[in-house]
Every structure is written in structure tokens, then in C-alpha cells.
A = this chain, B = another copy of it.
Amino acid sequence: MSNQSKIPVAVLGATGAVGQRFIQLLNNHPFFEIVALTASDRSEGKTYAEAAHWILDTDIPDAVRNMVLLPTNTTALNAQAFQYAFSALPNENAKDVEPAFAAAGVLVFSNASYYRMSKDVPLVIPEVNVDHLGLLKHQQKARGWSGGIICNTNCTVSGPAMSLRPLYDAFGVKRVFSVSMQAVSGAGYPGVPSLDIIDNVLPFIKNEEEKLNQEARKLLGTLKDDHIEDAELAISAHCNRVSIIDSHMVTMSVELETPATPEECARVMREYRRKELIGLPSAPAQAIVVRDEADRPQPRRDRMTGNGMSCIVGRVRAEPLFGNTGVKFITLAHNTIRGAAGGSILNAEALQI
């Protein structure tokens, strides 16, 4: 696409940790061009560089450095028209702001959790359920919107859901015992105090364990005309915060519906492809990368696989407690790329198919 034909987009809540990732990943994007950034009232009218306490390891892109921040409400559209909005808003703001933009004709790709479980809102990881985007037209009709809301998932569920998709399709999945070791960036900025994490583990993350089960059931579910029929599986989780910057690792002990060897499980994960996504800028060459080494994946060494968009799986082996229907392994996914900003951008790309 030439610059003229790029879709004009906004980032809502652009100064926070996820907003920064959206900006970083949208820089020089072939489909989208940032034309507006919004922030809280406190920052309105400042340039982005003045207002943002930039925390990423690359510098602020020049294209947005001097962009003046707009208010996070639909009056922003008066200043600058845009078709899509990538929302990095906290839940309490997303609740009112996202529907307002949707009603005003904007497609909102949301990273907030507020509407994820709404019946007519697609909750999408394209590699898992790109067809769920079909809900959008029902949402628009039901709510009388010309725009709409499309949600990405909780960052912790992205690895497990991606790895379960081929297993669910091939063998069925009944139960999963999972334990997460999550990066501090998942809590945003300032987020986790360093006094809480140096030489320590935090064995609790609010609401996280419930989401893992709920969202995975919807993600792996089936689109039935105007709603999603949840997948029949159950995930139990222990969620922990550990001393790593980025990426969430999740151990998986899976009970399948039908027998399968670890080799068969590794094979279906490794061979999993979603043809319709081929060529999308943010789609990784391989959705699921299965590693054979005994001690991989590791967060620091593997999180950038597929530019941070792959789900990395390792240690696929038998789960003896489930006999011949058991398999266990670990998944790793970059929480602020795959599990947040990158995921929403891929959702928007998938809409161009």
C-alpha cells in the first residue's frame, strides 16, 4: 500500500506501556498509519515526547514524537479523522470510551478486558479463531453501530490457546492443569515494585486465573451465527509473577479426549498453519514453534521468536497422570507483543483478508 492508501488509525491511551508497544509496532506498518494519539486529560495538548515516560528499548519513533495528544473521547475525531482505534485503555475507561467510538463509526481493536466476554464481541487470536471476526456484523446490527469492538485476549491465555488449538482439533481436550510464570511488564508501568520481585516470586495475580479458563473456552469455541458456543474444556491455573521483563511461560498438563503420543502432539502443533493469514505483516512464519532441546523455551532467549508473535512450545512429553490421553509441555509467548499490542494489530490485519 502507498502511504495515501494506508488506513488512518489512532492509539487510545497512547502514553502507557501497551500504548507504547502499539506505537512501536505500528511504526512503518504497511497497512496502517498513526494519525492520532489520545491520552488522559492531564496530558492533552502536550506533544507525545513531552507527555510519555517512554520505557521501551527502542527510541520513540520520529513520526509520533511531536504529535499533539488528543483527548480520549470522540471529540478527538473532530481534530483528526481515523478509521481504526487501537485501544490500550484501562478497563474503567474502556467501558464507556470504546462503545462511543464504535458508535461514531470507528473499529476499535481493544486490549482491555471489559468487553471480551460480551456475547456479540469477537475475542480473537487469528491463528486460533479468525472466523470469529464474523461476529462483528451481528454486533453492528444489534447495537446499531457503523464501527465496532474486536477484543484480543488476556496476555496469559495467548500461549495456551494457540498451543491447544491443534490438539483440540486433532484429539479433543478435556482438562488442563496449568501454571504461569509471568513477566513484570504484564502489570504495566510502574506496575510491580522492584521490592516485590528481586529475589522473589509473587504467587498471585488478580483475576488472572479465572480469565485463563473463560477466555480459552470462548477462543476455542465455535461461531454459531450470532454467538460463540464455548469449547467444552476446563483449565485450572496457578498464576505467578517472576523476575523477567517480557513473556509469559505456562506449564501445561493436558488431558486429551482420545489417545495421542507426545510425538503426535508435537507434530500437530508444529504443522499447524492457518493459510488465510499467510502474508499478513504481523503473522509469524510459524504460529507454533516446537523446540526439541531439553531446556527450551526460555523467556529471555526465545521470546522474540517470530518477531515476538510465535507461540513457542517445548518439553513435549507424556503426562503419566492421564495415561495414554495425557501430554505435558510448556508454552511461551511474548506478553506485550503476542499477548497485547501485536495481537490487536494482527486482528486488524486479519480484517483486510
Most buried by B among A301, A304, A314, A328: A301
Q: Is the interface of A mostly helix, strand, loop or mixed?
A: mixed
Complex-state Cα separation, A321 to B198, whole angstroms: 33
Complex-state Cα separation, A91 to B277, whole angstroms: 52
A295 to B195, Cβ gap below 8 A?
A: no
Query: B residues within 8 A CB of A330?
Result: 203, 238
- Is A315 located at the chain interface by the 8 A CB criterion? yes
Query: B residues within 8 A CB of A200?
Result: 244, 298-301
B55 to A196, Cβ gap below 8 A?
A: yes
Complex-state Cα separation, A55 to B201, whole angstroms: 13
- Is A193 located at the chain interface by the 8 A CB criterion? yes
Complex-state Cα separation, A325 to B193, whole angstroms: 37
B57 to A304, Cβ gap below 8 A?
A: yes
A sample of 7 cross-chain residue pairs with beta-carbon separation below 8 angstroms, ordered by A number, consists of A179-B251, A194-B198, A194-B243, A199-B199, A203-B298, A234-B320, A236-B253
A contact residues vs B (CB 8 Å cutoff)? 17, 55-57, 175, 177, 179, 181, 184-185, 189-204, 234, 236, 238, 240, 242-245, 249, 251, 253, 294-301, 304, 314-315, 319-321, 328, 330
